[in-house]
Structure 1
Amino acid sequence: MSIVKTRPVHLGKYIQCFYSVLAVQGNIAIHRRLPDGTLDLVFNLGEAVSLSRDEVKFNLMPAVSLTGLYPDKSFLCYADKVHLVGVVFQPGTAHLFIKDSLAHIKASTLDAGDVFGKDIYLLLERLAGFPSEIQRHYFLEKLLMKFIGDYQQEHYQHNILHAVSDIHVAEGNLDVSLLHHAHLMSERNFRRKFVDFVGMSPKQYAGIVRIKSFSKRYKSTRMNYNDILFDLGYSDQAHFNKDFRKIVGASPGMYFSEMDPLAENFLHLI
């Protein structure tokens, strides 16, 4: 199973990347995916894919889905031919495309037709007709440009985007209770706008970024745990283990020992 990833040509301010997941499965495969704190628009050009929060009860994903705003782990079950084409929106900008707050999308997977209209299903056939993943990605970017064409920057949009940037620069290791001061907003208004634009609270988002930063560093370098934990502001491993298990649903040792190539590719997707 492999991932093809491309960067947007025109919409880099609003979209992190496009990706395609491709495989022909001989057996059923279950993939544990870490949360990214991002919203994805996903088109399924292959066989059915099921999603679960607990690895026990699986539900079919809609053929065109809005998904990804999970505060913790999720599980994807693939069988037979896998061909997913996805759009990863920049945190803080996805609401501009769906024309609504992201608060109601958190911890759920929605049928994209309920948001964009059922005509979005007509794109499945058009996407299938392109000879390459790069062409599929570019087609989606041109389509999404129409949604952003009449965009008027919302009040506080600039503040929230800068707060998201601050969280990433610090790799999640910062006092989020002080962010509203840095961006000249009241604490209540900052939190409310952050949830509207990003889809989760600043604390939840920073926690995801922190654990994702650890996972990317550890998987890339195999450095000693303690060296990475110190850089990310953890004073002891017990605190880190608690945070990791809360978001990932497994201990660090279990997660990395069982990591498959697809999980590693998704780890470095964004």
Structure 2
Amino acid sequence: MALAATLYREHAPHPALRAHVRVLWELSGPCDDPSPQKLFPDGAMSLWINFGGVISGGQQHVTTGGAALLGEIRRPIEVASTGALDIVGVSFWPGSARVFLDAQLPELVNRLVADPPVTIELSGVISAEPQDRIPRLQQALLEAVQPKRAPSDRVLQAFSLLGQHDIAGLADSMGLSTRQLERRFVDELGASPKQLASLLRFRRALAAMQRPKPDFAAIALECGYADQAHLVRDFTKYTGAPPKRFVTTEAPKTRAEWLTGPS
């Protein structure tokens, strides 16, 4: 059965939030199929505020008017909704959720956490009229930022260069040893350079899989994989299915928003 259409809208963050927030978004629409939906890794974390039916993930349940934090996921996880979708969310840059958290990033890996340990005051957002939710959320984020917790400019610069060098070359370009770079990434971004580079490469491949009749060998070359076998291994790790089966059986059962993610 085809999934009912949902409305997905993105909003640019306030200029003072751009170093930490990738995008704010709204997702709404009917839930015609209560079957769990798979979410796929993208190297970052997101905050969800739920105005629709109960959302469940693992042992966590997010009620109407509740909030949840989706930690950095490194494998597919499943979420389900018992009613209409009506979510306002924030997607953070890798490592940057820490400026709004009272928890360590490793504690949140592969988890959907209801009543999340955030420093953001959400009551004004939850009580707002629909048209005021995003402005209220922007203001709540601005008031909650703790800049001293932000990743350093040096690490953010290195992150921006992932994929342009191998890890040793990237470390050398930053004047660091490979071990020093890895330690800085784990401490400040919550994942190693190798893990983040792999996730970014996978997201490029996932987007390319949405094309009609995708050419897997061409996608492997385009996205920086050593060969098609390398693509198959990574894709299976991050989605639970090899590319061909994913395209034919998994993608049609997955909402488009979960496949593309925020821009």
TM-score range, shorter chain: 0.7 to 0.9
Deviation at residue 231 of structure 1 after TM alignment: 2.2
Higher RCO (CA 8 Å, separation ≥ 6 residues):
1
**Residue 52 of structure 2 corresponds to which residue in structure 1?**
46
Cα separation, 1, equivalents of 2:175 and 2:12: 32
1:157 pairs with 2:157:
no
Cα separation, 1, equivalents of 2:119 and 2:253: 33
Choose from 164, 184, 208 the match for 1:193: 184
1:31 pairs with 2:37:
yes
**Residue 130 of structure 1 corresponds to which residue in structure 2?**
129
TM-score by length of 1: 0.82
Choose from 96, 102, 106 the match for 1:103: 106
1:107-130 deviation digits (Å, cap 9, x = unpaired): 22334443438x64x34532xx32
**Residue 60 of structure 1 corresponds to which residue in structure 2?**
61
Deviation at residue 151 of structure 1 after TM alignment: 2.4
Which consecutive segments of 4 or more residues in structure 1 shift more than 6 A? none
**Aligned-partner SS, 1:259:** helix
Cα separation, 2, equivalents of 1:112 and 1:182: 41
**Residue 95 of structure 2 corresponds to which residue in structure 1?**
92
Task: Tell me which amino acid in the other structure corresponds to 1:51.
Answer: G
TM-score by length of 2: 0.84
**Residue 227 of structure 1 corresponds to which residue in structure 2?**
218
Task: Tell me which amino acid in the other structure corresponds to 1:130.
Answer: E
Choose from 66, 69, 74 the match for 2:72: 69
- On the 8 A contact 1:16/1:89 being kept in 2, the answer is yes
**Aligned-partner SS, 1:8:** coil
Cα separation, 2, equivalents of 1:26 and 1:219: 22
**Aligned-partner SS, 2:158:** helix
Cα separation, 1, equivalents of 2:187 and 2:69: 16
Cα separation, 1, equivalents of 2:212 and 2:176: 39
> Gaps (5+ residues) in structure 2?
1-5
**Aligned-partner SS, 2:36:** strand
**Residue 238 of structure 1 corresponds to which residue in structure 2?**
229
**Aligned-partner SS, 1:110:** strand
Choose from 3, 10, 29 the match for 2:8: 3
Deviation at residue 250 of structure 1 after TM alignment: 0.9
Deviation at residue 223 of structure 1 after TM alignment: 4.5
Alpha-carbon RMSD: 2.6
Deviation at residue 100 of structure 1 after TM alignment: 5.5
Provide closer, same or farther for how the CA distance between residues 259 and 236 of structure 1 changes in structure 2, counting only shifts above 3 A. Answer: same
% identity of equivalent residues:
23
Provide closer, same or farther for how the CA distance between residues 152 and 235 of structure 1 changes in structure 2, counting only shifts above 3 A. Answer: closer
Deviation at residue 228 of structure 1 after TM alignment: 1.9
Deviation at residue 8 of structure 1 after TM alignment: 1.2
Cα separation, 2, equivalents of 1:223 and 1:110: 35
Task: Tell me which amino acid in the other structure corresponds to 1:98.
Answer: L
Provide closer, same or farther for how the CA distance between residues 4 and 36 of structure 1 changes in structure 2, counting only shifts above 3 A. Answer: same
Task: Tell me which amino acid in the other structure corresponds to 2:142.
Answer: M
- On the 8 A contact 2:46/2:70 being kept in 1, the answer is yes
Cα separation, 2, equivalents of 1:185 and 1:16: 27
**Aligned-partner SS, 2:130:** coil
- On the 8 A contact 1:42/1:86 being kept in 2, the answer is yes
Cα separation, 2, equivalents of 1:131 and 1:64: 16
